[in-house]
Structure 1
Amino acid sequence: MTDFDKTDLRLMALVQQDGRLSNAKLAAALSISETPCWRRLKRLEEEGVIEGYQALLSRRKLDLGVLAFVHLSVTQHGEAVTAEIERTILAADNVLSCHNVSGDADFMLTVVAKDLDAYSRFVETTLRKLPGVSAIRSTFSLREIKASNRLPVGP
C-alpha cells in the first residue's frame, strides 16, 4: 500500500465529494500547481486507489421506494453452488451490494425495488430459485438516516 501524504488524502476527499472537479479547481483547492495535481490524480487512479467515477442518483426520484437488507442462508457451501449464487446476484441490477458474511446468514444483500410487490417478485423469481437457499430474511428500511459510499480520508 502506498503511503499517502496530506495532499493525497485531501485530493481523495475532494474527488469523493465531487468527481467532476476540473484539474484546475483541484489544484487550486490543494494549493498546488496543475501538473503535480494531475500526476497525483493519475497515480492514485493507476494504483487502483481511485477505482472510477460515477454520478449518485436519487433512488426515490427513480421510483425505487423500497430498500431491503436481505440475509440469505444456504445449506450447500460447495464451489459450484457458491459460484451460481454469485453469478445470479451479480446479474441482478436491483442488488446494490452483496457480502459473504459471518453469523446466522451466509450472504447479506442490499436490494432496491419500486414497491413491495416488485420486491416480492424479485424474491420469488430470483432468490428462491438460488441453489441451496434455506432461509431468506428481509429487513426493510423505514427511514434512511445516512447513506454514503465515501470512505473516511483526509488529514
Structure 2
Amino acid sequence: MGPLDHVDLELLSVLAEDHRATVVAIAERLGLSRNTVQARMMKLERSGVFLSFDRAMSPRALGFPIEAMVSVVVRQADLPRITAELALIPEVLQAHGLSGQVDLLVRVAARDTQHLFAIDARILGIEGVERTETSLVMGEVIGSRVRPLLEAARRES
C-alpha cells in the first residue's frame, strides 16, 4: 500500500477515538458513503494497518499478573528456528529482533514468580539460546500508542 491519504487518516482518527465505531457511524461523521468507508477499511486491513484484536486484551485479566522482558542472546545461525520455538510458548506475548548485544527482546506473562522462572528455563532450554536476562515489568508508564503518529501524519498531509 502506498502512503495513506487524507481520507484514510481521518478514518483512522475516528477509529482511534472510538475503536468500536460502526462503518455507518464513521461514514456519517466523515460525510462519506457507507460503501466508501467499507472499501477503505478493507483496503487498510489488507495492507496491514490494523493489528490483531488480541493486542487489546489484558494478560492480567486472564490470570497472568506478572509481565517481564527477557533479553535473549542466541547463535545467529539458529535465529529463525529459535523464533519459531519461542512462538510455541503460550506465555510469550511478543518478541522483537534487536541490533546490538542482545538479539531478541521477549515480553512474557506469568501467573507468579515460579511460573516466570519456569518460562525463563524453557527459553534457556531452546537449542541455540546462549543466555537470557529477565527484568520484571514494574508498571507501564507509556502504553502502546500510535495516536501521536496519526496526528503528526494528519498535520503533514
**TM-score (norm: length of structure 2):** 0.82
Task: Specify which of 95, 100, 120 is matched with residue 103 of structure 1.
Answer: 100
Report the CA distance shift for 1:26/1:96 in structure 2 as closer, same or farther (over 3 A). Answer: same
For 2:54 and 2:21, locate their aligned partners in 1 and report how far apart those are by CA, in whole Å.
13
Deviations 1:39-98 (A, max 9, x none): 211222233333554572222222211111111112x222xx223211111112211111
Q: Please give the per-residue CA displacement for 1:100-152, whole angstroms capped at 9, x wherever unaligned.
A: 1112211111111111111101112x112111222210111112222225463
Residue equivalent to 1:48? 48
Q: Which residue of 2 aligns with 1:122?
A: 119
**Residue identity (%):** 23
> Whose helix proportion is higher, 1 or 2?
2
AA aligned to 2:68 is: A
Query: For residue 25 of structure 2, what is the aligned residue in structure 1?
Result: 25
Q: How many residues align?
A: 151
**Higher RCO structure, 1 or 2 (CA under 8 Å, sep 6+):** 1
Q: Find the aligned partners of 1:92 and 1:21 in 2 and give their Cα distance.
A: 34
1:71 match: 71
| Distance of 2:144 and 2:71 partners within structure 1 | 21
- Read off the aligned partner of 2:126 and give its amino acid letter: L
Q: Which moved more, 1:9-18 or 1:20-29?
A: 9-18
Q: Which runs of 5+ in 1 are unaligned?
A: none
Q: With the length of structure 1 as denominator, give the TM-score of the two structures.
A: 0.83
Q: What's the offset of the Cα at 1:15?
A: 3.1
Report the CA distance shift for 1:60/1:72 in structure 2 as closer, same or farther (over 3 A): same
